[in-house]
Amino acid sequence: MKPFTLPQLAYAYDALSPFIDKETMTIHHQRHHQAYIDNLNTALEQTAETNPDLDSLLQRVSEYSPAVRNNGGGHYNHSLFWEILSPQPKLQPEGKLNDAIISTFGGLEELKAEMKKTGLAQFGSGWVWLYVKFNGSVAVSSTPNQDNPMMDILSMNRGFPILGIDVWEHAYYLNYQNKRADYLDAFWSVLDWSSVEKKYEEALAKVRS
């Protein structure tokens, strides 16, 4: 089996400061994400998988052990998280995604408020998602631990993630301590909507196929 590896960041660990500090980024990427990858590779050695595709694996994750679910989710979620962040982000959505946000939520500020409310309501560790439902519409939800909307263990709120906010304490505690609300507000200053728009188009292609 070809093992999964830690993706390289497209920016330096200090590039997102002061919104996300260098020490948090370094520990988050090198230790937490690497641990999920190491544990996923170990868990997959106990399966018949020879060249697993991560998206496909998560969409049928009910067939695998909790270790694959937790660590496969951890690898996927963090990989998406790094990709949508940028030190020089596009701060406003445009085009079809912006139209969908306006139609569903009323506008960008309303989406931010909904994701903040959902993030604050997530008890314990987890993620907040903007995702494309299987009918092509967009929605917001949260998941515990390292679950995400692609996983077939969910009975509702399923689809393809295009924006995820990590609300595990390791994502923000060094800089924001217990002030999750402040972290959720700061997140938007480094979110690159151009990356989210690309993921939106990819998700629409999947639901239409």
Q: Which residues are annotated as a binding site for Mn(2+)?
A: 28, 78, 166, 170
Cis peptide before 93 (omega within 30 of 0): no
As given in the structure block, the two tokens for residue 45 are 């050695």
Q: Binding site: what residues are annotated?
A: 28, 78, 166, 170
Looking at residue 183, the DSSP 8-state letter turns out to be: H
Q: Say how many Å lie between the first and final Cα of the chain, rounded.
A: 28
Instruction: Give the orientation angle of helix 66-84 with respect to helix 34-44, to 10 degrees.
Output: 140
183 burial (CB, 10 Å; 0-12 / 13-18 / 19+) is buried
173 Cβ contact partners less than 8 Å away, ≥ 6 residues apart: 24
Distance from chain centroid for Cα 117: 17
